[in-house]
Amino acid sequence: MHNNTAISELIAAGKWASQRGWVPATGGNFSARTESGFVVTASGFDKGQLGSHTFIELDHVGNRTRGAGRPSAETELHLSMYKLIPSANFVLHTHSVAATVLSRVIKGHSLNLQGYEMQKSLAGVSSHLDTLSIPIFDNHQDIDHLSLLVSDHHLHTPIEHAVLIRGHGLYVVGRNSKEVMRHLEGLEFLFSCELERLKLEGIQAGVNP
């Protein structure tokens, strides 16, 4: 995929995610793997108003080759996820209310979902009876350290669709822009349902359903 194509698709994804309230206050960052390396959003831009000037282009090892602005501090985590998941060509990092709250309410190391038909919106999930497990990592300002935690987890439990950072937000991957947006939308629906279930059933915080 050419850099310009990736940027155009990420601009569209930014408008779409912004309309749904998932990237408030310039939060979040988006990236894509390209023929020449990667493109990633620069820090501090409204994701609903992205343009070609709001992206930084990187080579295959993460060195800047083009673009102004300040790289997001979380760029390293994006690059780590591309290394861990060879099929991933897009990473969207968002800050929805449901994802952020659930990542704090669940005190364990994963959010386990079962019984929802919408689980099948994620690639490879064929039944609502499957357990969809999204790993949760404690937030850390040292992104290199956080990336190492994610990598260590992947060694024994491969990451397939997404990770949650506690009190921070969601990182979701996909093979193309359509898939990553479907994964994001499906997960956000599931998170909203699970948050409502916990409130209605009064399950104590820290008990994984």
Asked if residue 203 has pLDDT above 70, the reply is no
- pTM of this prediction? 0.92
Q: Which of 108, 84, 77 is nearest to 171 (CA)?
A: 77
What CA dihedral angle connects 168, 173, 177 and 182, to 10 degrees?
A: -80
pLDDT tier at 202, thresholds 50, 70, 90: confident
Residue that is written with structure tokens 């994610």 in the block: 150
Distance of alpha carbon 79 from alpha carbon 58, whole angstroms: 10
Which regions of 49-200 does DSSP assign to beta strands (E)? 55-58, 64-66, 90-94, 110-113, 132-137, 162-165, 169-174
pLDDT tier at 104, thresholds 50, 70, 90: very high
Residue that is written with structure tokens 């990420």 in the block: 10
Percent of the chain clearing pLDDT 70 (strictly above): 97
Both structure tokens of 18: 């912004």
Q: Which amino acid is at 17?
A: A
How far is residue 49 from each of residues 66, 69, 132, 168, measured CA to CA in Å? 20, 15, 33, 22
Give tens-digit pLDDT for 40-58. 999 999 999 999 999 999 9
Residue 189: other Cβ atoms inside 10 A: 15
Distance of alpha carbon 187 from alpha carbon 182, whole angstroms: 8
92 contacts: CB under 8 Å, gap ≥ 6: 13, 17, 28, 30, 171, 172, 174, 180, 181, 184
Asked if residue 192 has pLDDT above 90, the reply is yes
pLDDT at 68: 85
Give tens-digit pLDDT for 107-156. 899 999 999 999 999 999 999 999 999 999 999 888 888 889 999 999 89
* Lowest-confidence segment of 57-66, 127-136, 165-174, 194-203 by average pLDDT: 194-203
Q: Which domains does the chain have, with CATH numbers?
A: 3-201 (3.40.225.10)
Distance of alpha carbon 40 from alpha carbon 57, whole angstroms: 7
Asked if residue 207 has pLDDT above 50, the reply is no
